[in-house]
Structure formats: C-alpha cells, structure tokens
A and B are shown apart, each in its own frame.
Chain A
Amino acid sequence: MAVSGPHKEDVQAYRAENLPPPPPPAGQSQSQPEPKETFLLLLFASAQSYCDNKESLTFSAPMTLRQLFEELERRYSGIGEKVLKSSQFSVNLDYVHCTWKGTMQGDDEELVLKARDEVGIIPPVSSG
C-alpha cells in the first residue's frame, strides 16, 4: 500500500539535523505495522495439561510477573491452586524468587517482562 508520507527531501533534511525521521502523517496507517512486542510463556507437564495441551502462550510486553500470572489465572481459572502453587518459575533460564499464594509473591513479583523474554512454569520434576 502506497503511503503518501513526507517528501524525501524533507526526510533528508530532518536526518541532516540529527533528528529522528518524522512520524507518519496523522490519520494514515503505516504500511508496515511494527511487529507486536511479545514474550513467551512455556508450559510443561501439568501446566500444559491445564492449558488445553498448549506448549506455550504469548503475551504482550511489558508486563510484570505478578500481572502475567494474574492474567493466566483469569484465562485458565483454577490454574493457581492446581498448578502454580506447587511450581517454580524461570525467566530467561534463571529461576526467579516467586511463589504463588493467591497472587505471585516474592522478591521478583514486580520483575518486568520485556519483548522476547522466555518465562517458564516448572512443576515438580520427575526425570529418571
């Protein structure tokens, strides 16, 4: 879709002054929308079974850990008591200090999840 934006010369003039390029004119959508800024919640074992056997869910960033799991409880009512209460949690492969007690509580409850982060729900393990 052709967008009648500012003239090329105008853009170059802006750049010459080390300013960011001008925003698209009001009332016109951009032809290439920004990719949605999301992060991934990985589900394993009982967490997966509880969420219709989905292996992962996508959420819009930013969001705190507490907000994420409140949202999850809204979408999958009862998951807190059935799954989260006995689980641990990881962000980008590191365990975080949080436990589910009706809401997410602990030192990391206000940790902000950014785009492309990877959060994991770790239910009690059973290898071997």
Chain B
Amino acid sequence: MAAPGSLSSVLDPANFPQVLKSADGRAHVELRYDVLDVNFASRFIRSPTAGANVLFLGSTRNNFDNRPVSHLAYQAYPKLALNTLLRIATEVRLKHNLERVIIVHRLGEVPIEEESIIVGISSGHRGEGWKGAEEMLERVKERAEIWKQEWFADEQNQSGQPAAIWKANKDTDQHGRSINDG
C-alpha cells in the first residue's frame, strides 16, 4: 500500500510476525498477517501448576447492523501495539495470579469465520482463569493500537452507504449493542 518512493511501511507484511515476550517468559504477544495458530497458543500456556486453560478466539462475523460483511481488515501501529499488549498481558497476569498468558492478533484481511485474535491464559483454578481472560480481552479492545475496517458485501444495493468503515470499540458493548456517546 505504500506509495512508490515513500519510506518503507511500518506495516510491510514482510516484517512480520513480530513478537514481544516478558523477561520471565510467561507472557507472549504477537502480531502476524497469516492464519492464527490455536495449537501454538494452547501449547504456550501449558504449565505444570495450571489446572485451568482458557482460550478466547475472536473471529470475523458475517454481518453488522443487518448489513452483510464480506471481510475485516486490520492494521496496527506495530511497535506501540506490541508494547501495549505486553503491558496488559503482564499486568493482568499478576493481578489474577495467572501462570502463563498469550495474546496474538492478526493484521491484514481476515475472512469470515477466521480468527483475528487469540487470548489465552492458564491458571491454578478456573475462577481466576475466567476472570483474567475476560479482563485481558476487554483491556486489549480498549487500549491496543489496532484498527478494524469492516468491508460490506452490499455496496451495490445501499446507495450512499460506504463500502468500508473504520470501527471504534468504544461505540459498542460486550453484547454488540451500540453505546451512545451522548
């Protein structure tokens, strides 16, 4: 997408995947353009002291507000997003006493049914595991410098409606209901 002769793009897929890990090796965050590897995430969070392993997979839905969606496209500010993801992963791990944590986000085009994000955690018991995984996902959606562009499949039928829009997580709640900024 970079214009000819422009500086090399921070989003050049050739420079991915990009990974950051905590010094203690218990937190792994990653941005990548290709299909997310659920097995890798599940292997990463394994721990002999964990009795609970929680994996959240966020995938592309085929509709929004009664409009058919053809795909999503993501971009990030890679260095800033990785710093933010690692900070969230580490803070939530410590707060909920989790064993190991992983966050992987996909960039570029994500087709219907494919994953755009994996959040995985392991913990001694399920209580802190559920809570920790949920908090980690909510904080990622609130803060990580990653943007979703929704591409609609009905551009021919809806004159005046844009074919693609940039989303903002602050506009919808956990149930997909719109939040009025007032």
Assess whether A45 is in contact with B166, with CB atoms less than 8 Å apart.
yes
| A128-B169 contact, Cβ under 8 Å, with A58-B7, A120-B77 | yes
| A45-B75 contact, Cβ under 8 Å, with A56-B6, A124-B169, A127-B105 | yes
Tally inter-chain residue pairs, CB-CB below 8 A: 87
One of B18-26, B45-53, B124-132, B146-154 at the interface: B146-154
Q: CB-CB contacts of A75-115 with B at 8 A, as 1s and 0s?
A: 00000000000100010010000000000000000000000
Q: Of residues A48, A56, A90, A127, which shows the largest number of chain B Cβ atoms within 10 Å of its Cβ? A: A127
Q: Point out the residues of chain A lying under 8 angstroms from B83, CB to CB.
A: 93
Assess whether A56 is in contact with B7, with CB atoms less than 8 Å apart.
yes
Q: Point out the residues of chain A lying under 8 angstroms from B146, CB to CB.
A: 125-127
Q: CB-CB contacts of B133-145 with A at 8 A, as 1s and 0s?
A: 0000100111111
Q: How many residues of B contact A (CB 8 A)?
A: 37
**A55 in complex: contacting residue of B1, B79, B147, CB < 8 Å:** B1
Chain A interface category by residue count: 20 to 34
State the majority secondary structure of interface residues on B: mixed
Q: CB-CB contacts of B94-118 with A at 8 A, as 1s and 0s?
A: 0000000000010000000000110
Q: CB-CB contacts of A46-87 with B at 8 A, as 1s and 0s?
A: 101100011110100000000000000000000000000010
| A125-B9 contact, Cβ under 8 Å, with A45-B75, A45-B149 | no
Q: Point out the residues of chain B lying under 8 angstroms from A127, CB to CB.
A: 74, 76, 81, 105, 116-117, 140-141, 144, 146-148, 169
